[in-house]
Structure 1
Amino acid sequence: MRETDAQRKAHALEDESRELGWRDPKAAARTWREWCPEWLRGFYAEDSSDSTTESLIRVHIMPKWGDVRLIDIDRHEIKAWAKEMQVEAGIAATSAKRVINAFSSSLTAAVDVGILSHNPCAKLNLGIPDNPSERTYTQKEQHRLFSELPSVLDQALVAILLGTGCRLGEALALEARHFNVQHSTVRFRQTWDSHNRKLKTYTKGKKRRTVPIDNWLLDLIKPLLKARPEGYLFRSRGGVPLDVANWRKRVWNKCSDEIGLNSAGKERGSIHTLRHTYATEQLEAGLSLAEIADLLGHSSITTTERYAHRRSKVGKKALGTIRDPRRAPKPKKRQKPRETRELPSNVIAFPGGR
């Protein structure tokens, strides 16, 4: 389809969506601010693991579209908005796309319930790749981060995220009973929903998995296992898991800014970057994509998954790839130039030696 034809069709669909009401004549005349709570009720019921959505709404979506009627949301304005976020607000292209995706989800929901006939965000070409390269932390950055963490509890939490590649909600739901010190493994079987402040007895994708852990991580976690044999390991005084927003502001952001992880000219890192770092280092260590997917909980449940925590090939390979971040990386040694000596005239020199 030619570009002009595609634009004509998109505009026709927009005109159609302006016809007030499929079911309720006044429904499409509501502002996005009025529609947002209704959308979120259904959205979080399906995917409450998206803890960043609330922030995206507050910082980016609500100021732009809060007072705009649903039928007045324009496709061209959305594309211009995406560029504004990158140029004027200075956020990364991938972050802009996350904002657009969240906004698009709200409009798709409006289509599903018959408020709009078409999502103006649908098939919106923003020129941003779907799978950009992910930011990872170098060994030097990992060491500097650990040096700034204020407490042993904070170090243990970051160590779990870095050393197992788990999601933050999975780490916050961990209890002592999920660790097998003898076999050096940890079992992820539940997650903490920080948005609704409740425990889910399953992980994202409903996949339970066992991940091997290195000795340096065991050293960090053992005192915590001994001190808290019951209940959540990473908990506040009230016994519930740490407040994510508070911990991010009080510990993570402060430490990251202190050591320059989010400095100008460098792609901004996040707590989730620890998971990307784990996956990248496993890949560089020689694990296959299928094996890494198994460790991260990306693949579907298989019949043999229940035996993964015993003696799996994945488990053996995975150990040793993440180094102890408490230790500073050793500086690379300069290689001394090799001494050469003149060979007798009757000796033939072969490249590379014998």
Structure 2
Amino acid sequence: MELQKIADQRKPLLTPMKDALKLWINGMKGPAETSIDAYRSTSRRIERWADRAGVVYVSDVTPAQLDAWRASWTPDAEVADNRLALATQASLLIRLKSFFYWATAMEYTTRDPTLLLRSITPNHSQTWPLTPDQFVQLLAATYKFDEEARHRTGKIGQWLRAIFLVQRWTGLRVGDVLYCPKSALAGNRLRAVIRKKMNRKPSESLVDFILPDHVVAVLNALPRRPEEHPDYWFWSRRCSPCVNTNKWVRKIDRLNNYLDFKDEDGEPLDFRSHMLRDTFAVEMLLAGMELAKVSKLLTHESVATTERYYAKWTRARRQQLEDEAMLAMQRMGATFTNVQPAQLRSKVRLPATAYIH
């Protein structure tokens, strides 16, 4: 009897990692589907790590193992699964802690191995807008993409250009663009579903955006792809919006094979679709729009979020501030012999129609 009692007490500690992860996901009844998708992704990532580390039971995991795994997360990690940007690392760590907090409460382990893991603070300076020239290069890369496509179905440059133009002129996240049905476009007005708001404020998830004529023309010119649903430009409806987004993001990432972007310090810069949201925000700020209004256009719930990500003193914004300071001092009677406003020094900006390519 005593041996049976001990065995019963130890039984939860012999819960396989795969089983625990499945139970953790199945128990999530509150979050919306888009949130659960993120946890499913984390679950699969933990499972792959456990397989690599030889971990069978939840109780086998040690703080040292998790600390070593956390330390291996870098954008250029040797293991592809560990190649994570800083913001992704921060999100993964939060969900990793959530799993082991739950597993400890379920008595699958006697102590939480994540307690000593240091938090990760995203570096918001990673936000990076494209210059007008870089945007033109991005559109040009879609033609190179098509040239090297082996099959007709792989020639998707026309759809990529449409996605990028919508993002550039609305600031929408790529998943929200892909989710738009054709019926969402009425004249120059595009009604999009902000999927992040579906979780928190469903009544505010539908938002209207105004598109320039040349973007409307590109959308209306898209032929129907046989694999797509007739009511959508970028979605077959045979998979979830999340899976569809992941498919397109993988295609977008391949464009880096045809790009040679550099940041303002001359360092290599990989293109990510979210840069077009950054581009929209920064261009609006540089055009003189107030931060609070840009925040509304980005559908942020707080202007503090917009300020944290977009109100940076990048070189362009510093030049703008310098111009304003010089003009103010000139009104006071000051003169400047060896310097002129940055707007005159810099290259003339491309007109909106140049973005059509």
TM-score, with structure 1 as normaliser:
0.61
2:114 equivalent among 121, 130, 136? 121
Say if 1:56 and 1:99, in contact at 8 Å, map to a contact too. yes
Matches within 5 A, 1:329-348: none
Cα distance in structure 1, aligned partners of 2:12 and 2:291: 46
Amino acid at match of 2:247: N
Larger radius of gyration between Structure 1 and Structure 2:
1
Say whether 1:166 aligns with 2:172: yes
Q: 1:78 to 1:285 in 2, by over 3 A?
A: farther
Maintained 8 Å contact 2:59/2:109: yes
Deviates more, 1:118-127 or 1:289-298: 118-127
CA spacing shift, 1:324–1:69, aligned 2, 3 Å: farther
Q: How far, CA to CA, are the matches of 1:219 and 1:288 in structure 2?
A: 29
The answer (yes or no) to whether the contact 1:136–1:277 under 8 Å persists in 2 is yes
Contact kept? 1:137, 1:273, Cα under 8 Å: yes
- In the TM superposition, 1:1-354 aligns within 5 A as 26-43=11-28, 46-49=31-34, 58=44, 60-66=45-51, 67-86=55-74, 88-89=77-78, 91-111=84-104, 115=108, 119-122=112-115, 124-126=117-119, 128-129=121-122, 131-149=124-142, 150-181=156-187, 184-189=188-193, 191=195, 202=198, 205-206=201-202, 207=204, 208-224=206-222, 231-236=231-236, 243-249=244-250, 251-260=251-260, 265-299=267-301, 323-324=352-353, 326=355
Q: What's the CA shift for 1:167?
A: 2.5
Compared CA separation, residues 171 and 83, structure 1 to 2 (3 A)? same
State the shift of 1:73 in Å: 2.8
Specify the SS of the correspondent of 2:191: strand
Deviation digits for residues 216-240 of structure 1 (CA, Å, limit 9, x no counterpart): 3222223349999972232349799
Q: Contact 1:185 / 1:212 at 8 angstroms: preserved in 2?
A: yes
- Which whole-Å deviations, capped at 9, do the CAs of 1:57-103 have from their partners, x for residues lacking one? 55x53333342432333334322322223385365444433432332
Aligned-residue RMSD, C-alpha: 4.4
State the 1:261 CA deviation.
Answer: 5.0
| Cα separation, partners in 2 of 1:265 and 1:42, compared to 1, 3 Å | farther
More helix by proportion, 1 or 2? 2
Over residues 92-123 of structure 1, what are the superposed CA-to-partner deviations in whole Å (9 max), with x where a residue is unaligned?
Answer: 44443343233223224435656567644357
Measure, in 2, the Cα distance between the counterparts of 1:273 and 1:323: 18
Between 1:283-292 and 1:141-150, the stretch displaced more is 283-292
Give the match's secondary structure for 1:49: helix
- Contact persistence 1:85–1:96 (CA under 8 A): yes
Change (3 A) 1:43 1:69: same
SS of residue matched to 1:34:
helix
Find the aligned partners of 1:174 and 1:141 in 2 and give their Cα distance. 26
Tell whether the 8 Å contact from 1:134 to 1:276 is kept in structure 2 after alignment. Answer: yes
CA distance in 1, matches of 2:14, 2:104: 14
Counterparts of 1:112 and 1:160 in 2: how far apart (Å)?
46
User: Does the residue aligned with 1:246 lie in a helix, a strand or coil?
Assistant: helix
Structure 2: which amino acid aligns with 1:248? V
- The normalised TM-score by structure 2 is 0.60
Partner SS for 2:73 = helix
Per-residue deviation, residues 187-223 of structure 1 (Å, max 9, x unmatched): 22365xxxxxxxx994774222222222332222233
Match of 1:243, SS? helix
On the 8 A contact 1:165/1:276 being kept in 2, the answer is yes
Task: Call closer, same or farther: CA 1:187–1:78 in 2, change over 3 Å.
Answer: same
